[in-house]
Amino acid sequence: MAAMTVRVISTTLIAALLTVGGVADAASQSSDKQNRRVRIHNQTGLVLQSLQAADVRTGDFRPDLLGGAPIPTGESRPVLIDNGANGCLYDLKVGLAGGQTLVRENVNVCRIGDYYLTR
């Protein structure tokens, strides 16, 4: 019984960590089997406070993909950029410490595994 309890807690913890890391749930993932998981590398010199993505077809930015867990400068984190609509081109909006905002347009998240964010 104790081993089962540990497994349940571990599974719950892993699910929580994936959510914080910006991984979308299965209900919002696209059905075309394209990989939209991108490792965001923060090379801006400032803490990356937020990351939003908008499918270029709609322009609607989704809530923060970092889940409130900033990425320090020089570090990276994987995120799943997928709104469930089978799109690959996204605009990325990044909020940096100090209030600066960067926008990167037409990023093909189906074709890249790493994105190096600079100012």
Structure token digits, residue 99: 């209030």
pTM score, two decimals?
0.74
Rounded to whole angstroms, how far apart are CA atoms 13 and 8? 9
Residue 55 and residue 85 in contact, taking contact as beta carbons nearer than 8 Å: yes
Q: Per the structure, how many domains does the chain have?
A: 1
Tell me the CATH number at 16. 2.60.40
pLDDT tens digits along 26-74? 446 678 777 899 999 999 999 999 999 999 999 999 999 999 999 999 9
Residue 110 and residue 85 in contact, taking contact as beta carbons nearer than 8 Å: no
Rounded to whole angstroms, how far apart are CA atoms 83 and 119? 26
**Residue ranges making up the domain that contains 67:** 2-117
